[in-house]
Structure 1
Amino acid sequence: MDSKRQQKFSRLIQKELGEIFQRDSKSLFGNVWITVTQVRVSPDLSVAKVYLSFLMTDNKEQSLADVNEKNKAIRQTLAAKIRHQVRIIPELIFYLDDTAEYAAKMDALISGLNIPAASKDKDEEE
């Protein structure tokens, strides 16, 4: 369970990183659309785990590798934006958020189930 302080800090980082990726993603990453889906911050606020979702790309792992390659520049840009609000600029660790793919897979599995219809005799007895 995150403290209120961690929650506020993670929301701030998510908002600012979202703006950074929206504004600078075209120059840094080409046509890849990057969304910050979730940020989890350590209790001492020194590490932020950032979950990213990628659109308009075929190779999401390569896009994540590109983001990790530019981690230092992204952290410096974040530091410039939030330096008056926080004391510590956290280390950023980026992860691929595959929630949408997982949900689509589960939806396909559920829709593919063969569930027999309930018989009318059992319904009439109740």
Structure 2
Amino acid sequence: METNRQKKIGGVLQRDVADVIQLALREAGVQGILVSVTKVSVTTDLSIAKVYMSVFPHNEGEKVLQEVNAVKSQIKHQVAQRTKNQLRRMPELSYFIDDSLEYIDNIEKAIKGEDNPLENPDLLPKRKKK
């Protein structure tokens, strides 16, 4: 169960991390890839924040995750600059791909098509637990 403080910090980080990543993509001249931060969950001691990103198109997810991890310290520094009046200590940021939108999309396509997973559940891939 998240405390109000964790939720508040998560919300602040979500907005700022999204801004920093989108700005970095624009500066790098990346076209046609949309990255949004879907959720940030913060540990109870506020030392670690898990950042979940949704990437469109889906097949670019791993590439974007590698790029983000390569410049992790710069992202953390820029977010720390933005949040210095709200946070005493900047949590360590860990990045993950949020595949829930892709998962929902696959379900909708399957239901609309002939391969209805309600009749044949083996058609859907097993969801990865995080």
Same fold by TM-score greater than 0.5:
yes
How far is the alpha carbon of 1:90 from its aligned partner? 0.7
Which residue identity lines up with residue 20 of structure 2 in the other structure?
A: I
Deviates more, 1:16-25 or 1:51-60: 51-60
Output the TM-score relative to the length of structure 2: 0.79
Give the structure 1 partner of residue 12 of structure 2: 12
Instruction: Give 1:2 deviation, angstroms.
Output: 0.3
Count of paired positions? 115
1:25 alignment counterpart:
25
Distance 1:57 1:39 in 2: 20
Larger Rg: 1 or 2?
A: 1
Identical counterparts, % of pairs: 30
Matches within 5 A, 1:15-54: 15-28=15-28, 30-31=30-31, 32-54=33-55
CA distance in 2, matches of 1:87, 1:13: 13
- Write out aligned runs for 1:65-84 (5 A): 65-84=66-85
Q: Does 1:90 pair with 2:91?
A: yes
SS in 2 for 1:59: helix
Q: Unmatched 5+ residue regions in structure 2?
A: 120-130
Quick one: distance in 2 between partners of 1:41 and 1:29? 31
TM-score, normalised by the number of residues in structure 1: 0.81
Q: Is the 8 A contact 2:58 2:102 kept in 1?
A: no
Distance 1:63 1:24 in 2: 11
Which consecutive aligned stretches of 4+ in structure 1 deviate over 6 angstroms post-superposition? none
Q: Is the 8 A contact 1:79 1:89 kept in 2?
A: yes
Distance 2:39 2:91 in 1: 15
AA aligned to 1:6 is Q
